[in-house]
């Protein structure tokens, strides 16, 4: 695979019963325009045809077998064996574009040691590898603890990290059943380290069937465990400790969104109420409104033209907002009207994406009545003008940013 001085990346893939996709994952690493120094696949006790597939690659990959211990233990096993200066964690059902290693290595090589890694943009793909509408990225130039606590997350397959930095924090926490990557990012950055951001979508996150990420309870407990560990640190910087209430609130909003997404609306509402109790300022962001309104849309299609029931979305959103306002004890206040204005503004944008002229006009007027802004009039007017030339609804269309 070439000398270490030229190709200094160790790629680690943990796999458990991954026969359906492991070949695509491995091929996406072996087909990189900048080859990896080594590709380590850790089989976590598979009982399907995974090992047979791995055997076909011969000496192109290093295969390590272990009894079933979970993905964190498998990644840590790979870390112990890795010889590269940089580490890339690749999941067994995901893929990279051919430029992933070339572009991330070039960026990390150009940066100082305080930058512990590079994260890229990513897209969700279906079981056949077809990309969904949305492209995801942190949306900032660099990511540290503050950004991670306020929603700037990225998956492990979208990151390249200095091996020394990972080893200094003892790798993955094997006691966390989910969100173990987020926990690692928090520990890597808590002392001031940062990830540089390469916004191009160089990683592909496959959405298919049941997984840890589709289990809201498991994700919630992992998220809470990671936060508890962070804020229990006696050496945590004061400026980060000031973010504690906001961090818990943001985490609860994400747990609420996950519950709404699987149809557990009562649980989602109660989780949102808990978020508001921790920090009412979470309602100043549009994220919780979109999470509730677009709950029935699948991953990769949130806030797009993918079909949704606007009336049901309105009922769900208003029920959640009324419960949150009751918790806050707000009555006839400017802040209360602003929350309703924000909710109707979200519904108006969803209506525009759904090509529903009547709903767009209705929600735009309600938004202006509750919280009038000149921007609402301008945005609503442009959307109505565009509606004159609307074509028949398509399954996929513009993203939220084009609404």
Q: Report the pLDDT value the prediction gives residue 117, as an integer from 0 to 100.
A: 98
Residue reference for tokens 């890694």: 117
* Mean pLDDT (whole number) for 361-373: 86
Geometric angle at alpha carbon 402, from 398 and 403, rounded to 5°? 90
Which helix (H) or strand (E) element contains residue 40? strand 38-43
- pLDDT greater than 50 at residue 380: yes
Rg (CA), the chain: 23
Judged against a pLDDT cut of 50, whether residue 10 lies above it is answered with yes
Determine the average pLDDT of the residues in 169-173: 97
Q: Does domain 9-209 have CATH number 3.40.50.300?
A: no
Look at residue 208 and tell me whether its pLDDT is greater than 90.
Answer: no
Both tokens of residue 97?
């574009």
Rounded Cα distance between 179 and 313, Å, is 28
Q: Is the pLDDT of residue 7 over 70?
A: no
User: Is the fold of 9-209 the same as that of 243-387?
Assistant: no
Residue 389 confidence (pLDDT): 53
What is the share, in percent, of the chain residues with pLDDT greater than 70? 89
**pLDDT attached to residue 42:** 98
SS3 content of the chain, % helix, strand, coil (to 5): 50, 15, 35
Q: How far apart are CA 164 and CA 161, in angstroms?
A: 9
Contacts within 8 Å (CB) and 24+ apart, 28-32: 28/90, 28/95, 28/96, 28/97, 28/98, 28/204, 29/90, 29/96, 30/60, 30/61, 31/98, 32/96, 32/98, 32/99, 32/100, 32/101, 32/102
**Which tens digit of pLDDT belongs to each residue from 19-32?**
999 999 999 999 99
Model confidence band, residue 275 (pLDDT cutoffs 50, 70, 90): very high
Res. 396: pLDDT tops 80: no
Tokens coding 153: 């997350």
Residue 192: per-residue pLDDT: 94
pTM reported for the whole predicted model: 0.87
| Strand ranges for 93-244 from DSSP E | 95-96, 115-125, 131-136, 142-143, 159-162, 194-206
| Average pLDDT along the chain | 89
Residues 327 and 276: their CA atoms lie apart, in Å, by 8
Reported as a single tens digit per residue, the pLDDT across 58-83 is: 999 999 999 999 999 999 999 999 99
Q: Which residue is associated with the tokens 């907002």? A: 321
243-387 maps to which CATH number? 1.25.40
CA dist 94 and 159 (Å) reads 13
Measured CA to CA, the distance from residue 159 to residue 205 in angstroms comes to: 12
pLDDT digits (tens, 9 = 90+) for 101-117: 999 999 999 999 899 99
Question: How far apart are alpha carbons 154 and 263 in whole angstroms?
Answer: 25
Domain boundaries, the chain: 9-209, 243-387
């Amino acid at each position: 695979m070439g000398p270490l001085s030229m190709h200094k990346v160790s790629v680690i893939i943990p796999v458990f019963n991954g026969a359906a996709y492991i070949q695509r994952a491995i091929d996406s690493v072996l087909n990189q325009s900048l080859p990896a120094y080594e590709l380590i696949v850790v089989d976590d006790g598979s009982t399907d045809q995974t090992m047979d597939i791995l055997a076909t690659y011969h000496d192109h990959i290093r295969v390590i077998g272990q009894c079933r211990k979970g993905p964190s233990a498998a990644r840590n096993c790979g870390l112990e064996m890795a010889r590269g200066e940089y580490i890339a964690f690749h999941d067994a059902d995901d893929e990279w574009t051919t430029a992933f290693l070339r572009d991330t290595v070039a960026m990390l090589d150009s940066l100082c040691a305080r930058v512990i890694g590079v994260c890229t943009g990513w897209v969700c793909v279906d079981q056949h590898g077809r990309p969904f509408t949305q492209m995801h990225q942190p949306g900032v130039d660099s990511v540290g603890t503050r950004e991670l606590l306020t929603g700037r997350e990225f998956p492990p397959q979208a990151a390249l990290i200095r091996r020394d930095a990972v080893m200094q924090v003892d790798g993955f926490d094997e006691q966390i059943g989910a969100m173990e990557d987020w926990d690692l990012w928090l520990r890597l950055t808590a002392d001031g380290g940062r990830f540089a951001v390469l916004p191009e979508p160089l990683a592909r996150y496959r959405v298919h069937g049941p997984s840890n990420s589709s289990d809201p309870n498991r994700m919630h407990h992992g998220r809470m465990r990671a936060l508890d560990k962070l804020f229990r640190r006696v050496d945590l910087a004061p400026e980060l400790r000031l973010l504690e209430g906001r961090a818990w609130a943001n985490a609860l909003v994400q747990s609420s969104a996950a519950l709404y997404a699987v149809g557990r609306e009562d649980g989602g509402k109660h989780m949102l109420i808990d978020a508001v109790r921790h920090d009412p300022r979470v309602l100043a962001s549009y994220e919780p409104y979109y999470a509730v309104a677009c709950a029935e849309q699948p991953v990769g299609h949130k806030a797009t033209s993918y079909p949704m029931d606007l009336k049901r979305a309105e009922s769900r959103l208003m029920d959640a907002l009324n419960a949150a306002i009751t918790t806050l004890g707000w009555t006839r206040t400017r802040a209360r009207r602003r929350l309703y204005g924000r909710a109707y503004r979200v519904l108006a944008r969803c209506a525009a994406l759904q090509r529903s002229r009547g709903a767009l006009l209705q929600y735009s007027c309600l938004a202006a009545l509750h919280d009038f802004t000149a921007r609402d009039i301008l945005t609503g007017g442009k959307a109505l003008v565009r509606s004159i030339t609307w074509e028949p609804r398509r399954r996929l269309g513009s993203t939220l940013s084009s609404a």
